[in-house]
Amino acid sequence: MTKQTLGPALATLTLPKKESSDPMLYLLAALASPKQLTTQKKTAIELNLNGTVITQRNAILRALCTVGPLDVYPLCLLGQSSVAGLVEEMAVVMSNVHSWMSIASTIGKGKKEALDANFLNSLNDHLNNFAFLAGTPQPSLADWTVYFSMNNAVSASELNDMLQSSGRAVQRWYDATQCSVHDAAEGVSNQFNETLLPPLVEFQMQNMLPVFHYPTLAISTAGGGSDSATANEGSKDEKGKKKDSKTAPQQSSGGELTDEQKKAAADKRAKKAAEKAAKKKNKAPAAKQEGASGGEYNISAFDIRVGKILKAWEHPEADKLYCEEIDVGEDKPRQIASGLRPFYKLEQMQNQRVLVLCNLKARPLLGFASHGMVLCASNADHTSVEFAVPPDGAAIGERVFFDSFEGGEPEAENKMNKKKILEKVAPDLKTNADGVVVWKNKVSKTSAGPCRAIHGMKDAQVA
């Protein structure tokens, strides 16, 4: 473990004058180490981190998590400590945190219409597969920002009504997230006004807990045995000994098995062994197929194709999303939503040639069904993003392969999600020192050559 020597403050945070205007920012400031962060109050927020000035709120929140104990147990707000040592997971977690923070920006104060049934249904679908939004084992900055944004969008009573009628996964997530926020605030109550936090929502437990049903098992009542509880167990004689409805072979008086019983037991064992062997034989091909990948998927699992944006428009309910129709060589264009509005003007989107990850299940993003993902290169803090593009001459719809992985069919859409293949393979999809798209240093290839970041961004994550 590396020993860290704390010197003078590393960062200066300028907070808004009113605490109530941004309680989450004030809470993170209180949680940060006072030896590494100093604060002051002005009209506009700003973070000066070792001479680098950051003014964008989400970037400030992420940067604060690097100052002091905000990304170590028990907080782990960037999710990095919770997956420490799992390098392939860390890039995915960070990308997920960025994405959910962008979504949180679309449902903030004055954007009540964004927090509708479609959003809650989409959130519930996502949380049916993950404990928390970014795929971490405990709440991260992604969960906190969405939590605070939901409370900013509507009144406490309105949100309570919406949550009580929402899916169980949303209720379970919200309850865990609100507890983590209030617990953290309690630990710095001398520096933070806890009354600024959203009120705790109490859920009816019968709506949150799963219901198990065993149709063949009848539970006896407290006052005595249920008739149905013993219906399948046979009757009892006058001495209380159970008599099976089926006639069982008689046992010898000495307590040993009779020859008839021994033969029956041997026959049963032989039958079981035969069934087991047959089952194993039938499963052998499937096991061999699974073993071919060894549970470790490679880039050939991705269906990356050359595409062209035919039409793009601003998402009506999300400040950072574009909606696109993209030709990927299919009968009709794909509809895809991308968080590219902070990085590209609308006219730059039109007719742009792109790389599209096609074998992802369609999912609604604030009412827009997005079916696929436009691949882009981005720097570590996601402040710079640029298209990953095919070379001139590559045909629309052509699949992108990588050196040493030219063969193999891409995985099915449902398997990509079920097996979490995206999370396993994506962290190694990057650009090299020449800005060329690579996977584990294996160069991408089309009929016209390799793919690149459009402006040559090097050593960047591609997602």
Maximum separation of any 2 CA atoms in the chain, in Å: 94
C-alpha–C-alpha distance, residues 112 and 149, integer Å: 10
The pLDDT, as a whole number, for residue 69 is 76
Hey, what are 163's tokens?
């949550």
Query: Over the stretch 370-391, which tens digit does the pLDDT of each residue have?
Result: 999 999 999 988 889 999 999 9
Question: According to the CATH classification, is domain 8-71 in 1.20.1050.130?
Answer: yes
Residue 169 CB coordination number (10 Å): 18
Query: CA–CA separation, 341 vs 230, rounded Å?
Result: 67
Q: 10-32, pLDDT tens digit by residue?
A: 789 999 888 888 999 999 988 88
Instruction: Return the CATH architecture of domain 299-462.
Output: Beta Barrel (2.40)
Of the listed ranges 222-226, 257-261, 295-299, 358-362, the one predicted with least confidence: 222-226
Mean pLDDT of the chain: 80
Neighbours of 290 (CB within 10 A): 11
DSSP sequence for 390-446: PPTTPPTTPBPEETT----PPPPHHHHHHTTHHHHHGGGEEE-TTSBEEETTEEEEB
10 Å Cβ neighbour count for 174?
Answer: 21
Q: What is the DSSP string of 251-319?
A: PPTTSSPPHHHHHHHHHHHHHHHHHHHHHHHHHHHHHHHHHHHTT---GGGS-EEEEEEEEEEE-TT-T
**Whether pLDDT at 206 is above 70:** no
Q: What are phi and psi of 236, to 5 degrees?
A: -115, 145
pLDDT surpasses 60 at 284: no
Query: Which CATH number does 88-193 carry?
Result: 1.20.1050
Answer whether residue 291 shows pLDDT above 70: no
Q: What ranges in 106-228 are assigned the alpha helix state H? A: 117-127, 141-153, 156-164, 168-187, 205-208
CB distance 113 to 315 below 8 Å: no
Which structure tokens are listed for 235?
Answer: 């009757």
- DSSP H helices, 313-363, are 346-349
Residue extent(s) of CATH 2.40.50.140 domains in the chain? 299-462
Confidence of residue 410 (pLDDT cuts 50, 70, 90): very high
Q: What is the pLDDT of residue 110?
A: 67
Q: Which residues contact 165 (CB under 8 A, 6 or more apart)?
A: none
Please list the residue range(s) of the chain that carry CATH number 1.20.1050.130: 8-71
